[in-house]
Structure 1
Amino acid sequence: MKNSGFIARRYLFSRKHISLISTLTFISITGITIGTALLIVVLSVFNGFFDVIKNFLLSYDPDVRIEASGTATFAQNEKMMNKIRSIPEVQIISPYVEGKALLAMDDAQNEVVDVKGVERDVFFQLVDIENSVTTGVFDVTVRDRTPGIIVHEELKNRLRINVGDDLALLSAAGMKNALTQITVPQTYRFDLRGAYYLQQIAGGPKVFVDIEAAKRLFKVRNEITGLDLKLTDNEMAEEVKSELTRALGPEFKISTWYDLQKPLYDVMYLEKWGSFVVLILIVIVAVLNIIGSLTMIVIQKQRDIGILMSMGYSKSGIKSIFRKQGLYIGLIGCGIGGSLGLLISWLQMKFGLVKLSSAFIIDAYPVQINPLDVVLILVVSLMLSILASWYPAHRASQIQPADAVRYE
């Protein structure tokens, strides 16, 4: 029947008097409102933290990394480079040589460090590290036959070294040769040119040298450890990974920015959707109230239902009345809760109202509103509300008109 929506609204929002049914209806709407708003705010905060962590990790990590799948290094050739350049999304290709070495100084303690050899100009296009230089300059070129070295500010302060100091690096390969050939370990001298500071989230700070100096240090000659790629859009990383896998074959391991820090990103996603499951329980409690309030309406309105059925209403028409009641409760709760959640998220994103107790990278809770998350929350809440009306609607459709009128 076309007027089933009108009847459903009258049953739900009658202004004659405030009853237990209207109170339960109000509680149901309030529960859905609170649950929906909380879900939007909490998931937006998790999205904000994910973006913050991602952006800081990408200050070190490339969008895509190419490494040898079976060995530590591989030969860089023009055929391979042409295949990579043929992919339109690839913007920058930065080769590197990486490994661990012993950092030695005169009259100071020695320390094992992660050394990364890079091509300075290309590396600057890949990682915005030049603005993070705190002391000296990022210069790893050869001066007076001595290559430069750049260390992290934290390492510089801990070892009490200064720009201009003479540092020595000894690789594991050099130590192995010294032991097997019974010779003095070959060390490579570097001139400390500067220090940089980047907030550490995962992994330890790296020491940067020129890529040719790193090749000599790790004795890899014309080979490299890997290639770091910068894309026009890092969200295209998975598509580029698939193309590179087909082009280069199984001899190479292709990793996206997500793969490089997969355990951390997976934990963040697990926390986000774990919170979703916990907070959806608020909506489920409200849904139970919907079942109770609609069932009480069915009991209270048995005579009315009997009259409607005797006037020609079918069972499906009666079901439609009570299903629309669940729909109206869901629409009101989702509408108010969605608007409230979006408003709170926008205010936090714009003004940073809620501050972090101890500032780490940021001083206020970050917020990033994801439209897909909002749609998912609203759809799930609305579907649960409609589902809650199934039992009361079924019970109402089973009422016999003669019995309903006789016992009233």
Structure 2
Amino acid sequence: MNLSARIALRYFLSHRKRSFISIIALIAMVGIGVGTMAMVVVLSVFNGMEALNREIFKSFDPDIRIVPAEGRRFTVTDSMLAAINRTEGVQFVTQVIEDNALASYDDQQILIRLKGVDSTFRDRHQMDTTLLEGSLNLNGPNGTRFALISEGVRNALAVSLRDTFIPFALWYPKTDRKTINFNNADAFNQVTVMPGGTFFVESRYDDIVFVPLSVTQSLMGLDRERSALEIQLTADASESRVQKQLRSVLGKDFVVLNRDEQNADLLRAVKVEKLFATVTLSLIILVAAINIFFSLSMLTLEKKGDTAILFAMGAKPALIRRIFVSVGNIVAFAGAGIGLITGILICWVQKEYGLVSMGMKTALVDAYPVELQWGDVLITAVVIIIITIVVSFLPAARAARQKTFGQG
């Protein structure tokens, strides 16, 4: 331990003899500790929410989604499908037609997001865990066509899967009309299907209804036009490599999105909220660290005699400055160390035992998800180091200018 650190430690430990200064230092230490703990816990909760969202995406969104670079739909060709299927790592290619439509059931109506999918949708087994009632099969015996209905649509229309007499009707505006009279049924195409199953992922998907691709083709008057192609990869496939190959195969007319890019807005919102939380908690730590400034300011006044003796013995101003900066470091790092350990312990307990619940029966998880990332711990440590240097420098520099007893 060098000389400046030894003197700083002695000053710190001697605070117990000087109650007022020691109280201010203790307040600073506790404040920094609480702020550090809060930052670790809050950032870990944001990480947990981001990981939870990614798990939700896996139960609904495809691994890769291909959409047109311009417009809402594109014409799919056999050669395009063949080229995609030949790409290494591609397991299923699901053709999709998606648009808003009107659904009615037993005199009730609601606007929905209608999603027509081909037979590979069932083979993906992606939504098996989201099924609440019924089946994921969209094509039944004797040409019966079924709808897979989200829980939100089911509740809004009071749909009963057991009632086989009431059809589930779908309405879509006819494209050959320049104007639409919403009071005229002739202005809409209509098809009927039977409710076959209900699912729940989370509220963001509560307006979706799945039907066979042939239903949307008939309803919207389409032939080879598609809204998207959804791709499920094999278990050993590299998402980034397949995405790069598909971009090369399809060219600039198509956008190839991985799962994160499909949900970029939501993930960006989580990251922005995390950034604001980091800035806010950093300001709280700064407010707590201001007590270090006051504590060191009073300590420099009290130690004017000591600094004069050190100068008389040949000490340089840099040594005096390092002594008081070291005192500030001891106070800050002691509080930060306690806060880091406490925050990590809280995250571990929450992850293992789920002590803090979401408090909602409809929540996807019982307890708040947490995921500790060491990068966040490093950011917290850097923030504390910067704040400590800032609040300690001015009192330390003032102490370094004191040359003799009673002289500032």
Q: Counterpart of 2:392?
A: 389
TM superposition shift of 1:333 = 1.3
| Alignment map for 1:152-167 (pairs within 5 Å) | 152-156=150-154, 158-163=157-162, 164-165=164-165, 166-167=167-168
C-alpha spacing 1:242/1:327, structure 2 compared with 1 (3 Å): farther
Q: Counterpart of 2:311?
A: 309
Q: Is the 8 A contact 2:77 2:224 kept in 1?
A: no
Instruction: Tell me the amino acid that sits aligned with residue 378 of structure 1.
Output: A
Q: Counterpart of 1:134?
A: 132
Of all paired residues, the percent bearing the same amino acid is 28
Q: Is the 8 A contact 1:59 1:129 kept in 2?
A: yes
Q: Is the 8 A contact 1:146 1:189 kept in 2?
A: no
Q: Is the 8 A contact 2:68 2:228 kept in 1?
A: yes
Give the Cα separation in 2 of the matches to 1:73 and 1:52.
31
Q: Is the 8 A contact 2:59 2:130 kept in 1?
A: no
Q: Is the 8 A contact 1:177 1:185 kept in 2?
A: no
Give the Cα separation in 2 of the matches to 1:87 and 1:372.
36
Superimposed CA distance per residue, residues 86-113 of structure 1 (whole angstroms, 9 cap, x where no aligned partner) = 87676654321122344456x6445543
C-alpha spacing 1:176/1:383, structure 2 compared with 1 (3 Å): same
Q: Counterpart of 2:272?
A: 270
Give the Cα separation in 2 of the matches to 1:199 and 1:377.
34
Q: Counterpart of 1:334?
A: 336
TM superposition shift of 1:17 = 1.9
Q: Counterpart of 2:377?
A: 374
Q: Counterpart of 2:34?
A: 34
Give the Cα separation in 1 of the matches to 2:407 and 2:180.
102
Q: Counterpart of 1:298?
A: 300
Give the Cα separation in 2 of the matches to 1:266 and 1:217.
35
C-alpha spacing 1:397/1:91, structure 2 compared with 1 (3 Å): farther
SS in 2 for 1:365: coil
Q: Which runs of 5+ in 2 are unaligned?
A: none
The answer to whether the aligner puts 1:325 opposite 2:327 as a matched pair is: yes
TM superposition shift of 1:326 = 2.1
Give the Cα separation in 2 of the matches to 1:91 and 1:67.
18
Aligned-CA RMSD value? 3.6
Q: Provide TM-score, normalisation by structure 1.
A: 0.83
Q: Is the 8 A contact 1:151 1:206 kept in 2?
A: yes
TM superposition shift of 1:205 = 2.9
Q: Counterpart of 1:198?
A: 200
Superimposed CA distance per residue, residues 139-166 of structure 1 (whole angstroms, 9 cap, x where no aligned partner) = 2225323333322345445344435444
Q: Is the 8 A contact 1:108 1:159 kept in 2?
A: no
Give the Cα separation in 2 of the matches to 1:22 and 1:169.
74
SS in 1 for 2:223: coil
Q: Counterpart of 2:229?
A: 227
Give the Cα separation in 2 of the matches to 1:231 and 1:14.
65
C-alpha spacing 1:349/1:218, structure 2 compared with 1 (3 Å): same
Give the Cα separation in 2 of the matches to 1:90 and 1:292.
64
TM superposition shift of 1:397 = 1.8
C-alpha spacing 1:136/1:22, structure 2 compared with 1 (3 Å): closer
TM superposition shift of 1:34 = 0.9
The answer to whether the aligner puts 1:148 opposite 2:146 as a matched pair is: yes
Superimposed CA distance per residue, residues 20-49 of structure 1 (whole angstroms, 9 cap, x where no aligned partner) = 222222222111111101111122222223
Instruction: Tell me the amino acid that sits aligned with residue 145 of structure 2.
Output: P
Superimposed CA distance per residue, residues 122-145 of structure 1 (whole angstroms, 9 cap, x where no aligned partner) = 4542x6322333333222225323
SS in 2 for 1:202: helix
C-alpha spacing 1:184/1:385, structure 2 compared with 1 (3 Å): closer
Give the Cα separation in 1 of the matches to 2:395 and 2:86.
62
Instruction: Tell me the amino acid that sits aligned with residue 312 of structure 1.
Output: G
SS in 2 for 1:358: coil
Superimposed CA distance per residue, residues 66-86 of structure 1 (whole angstroms, 9 cap, x where no aligned partner) = 211323221224654576568
Deviating more after overlay: 168-177 vs 132-141? 168-177
Q: Counterpart of 2:95?
A: 95
Q: Is the 8 A contact 2:64 2:257 kept in 1?
A: yes
Q: Is the 8 A contact 1:13 1:22 kept in 2?
A: no
Q: Counterpart of 2:66?
A: 66
Q: Is the 8 A contact 1:174 1:186 kept in 2?
A: no
C-alpha spacing 1:290/1:231, structure 2 compared with 1 (3 Å): farther
